[in-house]
Amino acid sequence: MKAIKEEHICNDDVYASIFSTYSKTVFNYIYYKFGNEEKAYDVVQEAFIKLWENCSKVAPDKAKSYVYTVANNLYLNVLKAEKVRLKYAPDTNAVVHESPEFILEEQEYKEKLERALAALPENQRTTFLLNRIDGKKYAEIADMEGVSVKAIEKRMHLALKSLRERIEGI
């Protein structure tokens, strides 16, 4: 006959654990869309403030999708016709023992890749990077974007195709 204490987002500990679990992935998600770190950061802040303000109305198991939805709406609200510029932190783990020509070539390839990524349509880029960087499964991305797994596969396919075409200058 013991009362079950309900976990509530308004509880500081619960809120903090939701933040630490999802803030990074929300940041990445929005960053892939915007290609702008500062804006992605601000969106994360706003989304989590919204979550706090509505903590009593959102069930803990809905917190994840709530934050994603709010972040996505915020992104859509502030989306301007700005040129998307993505840059990625260099891969620090790679130890390079290669010839200068090779390194130069690699450098060039990387720049081409970044330009090609920036030129992708937003939905293809987001899908592609969620899979490649965050290791999200197609089904997870489909869930986040609210489309079918098949649609995500299509996006992936098209993303790969147009990346290759752009890099090779076809």
Partner 1 sequence: MQENYLAKWLNNELTEEELAKFKESKEYAPYLKLREATDNLEAPDFDMAKAWEDLNKHKIGTKGKVIKLNPYKKYLGIAAAVALLFIASFLYYGSLNEKISTQYAERTEIVLPDASEVQLNADSHISYSKKNWAKKRDIALEGEAYFKVAKGKRFTVTTAHGTVSVLGTQFNVENRKDFFEVACYEGLVSVVYNKKEIKLPAGNSLVVINGQLQALAIPNTKEPSWIRNESSFKSIPLKFVLDEFQRQFNIEVATENIDTDQLFTGSFSNTDKELALQSISTPSQIKFKLEGNKVLFYAETP
Please report how close the Cβ of residue 2 comes to partner 1 at its closest, in angstroms: 8
| Cα–Cα distance measured from residue 14 to residue 26, given in angstroms and rounded to the nearest whole number | 18
Window of 68-76, 96-104, 129-137, 140-148 that interacts with partner 1 by CB under 8 A: 129-137
Nearer to partner 1, 65 or 162 (CB): 162
Site string for partner 1, 92-111 (x = CB under 8 A): -xx--------------xx-
Q: Which of residues 48-87 bind partner 1 (CB under 8 A)?
A: 48-49, 52, 87
| Cα–Cα distance measured from residue 47 to residue 122, given in angstroms and rounded to the nearest whole number | 20
Q: Does 31 bind partner 1 (CB under 8 A)?
A: yes
Among 14, 78, 147, 167, binds partner 1 (CB under 8 A): 167
Nearer to partner 1, 12 or 61 (CB): 12
Please report how close the Cβ of residue 129 comes to partner 1 at its closest, in angstroms: 7
Among 37, 82, 98, 111, binds partner 1 (CB under 8 A): 37
Question: Is the CB of residue 41 less than 8 Å from the CB of residue 28?
Answer: no
Please report how close the Cβ of residue 41 comes to partner 1 at its closest, in angstroms: 7
Q: Does 10 bind partner 1 (CB under 8 A)?
A: no
Q: Does 126 bind partner 1 (CB under 8 A)?
A: no
First to last CA, the chain: 71
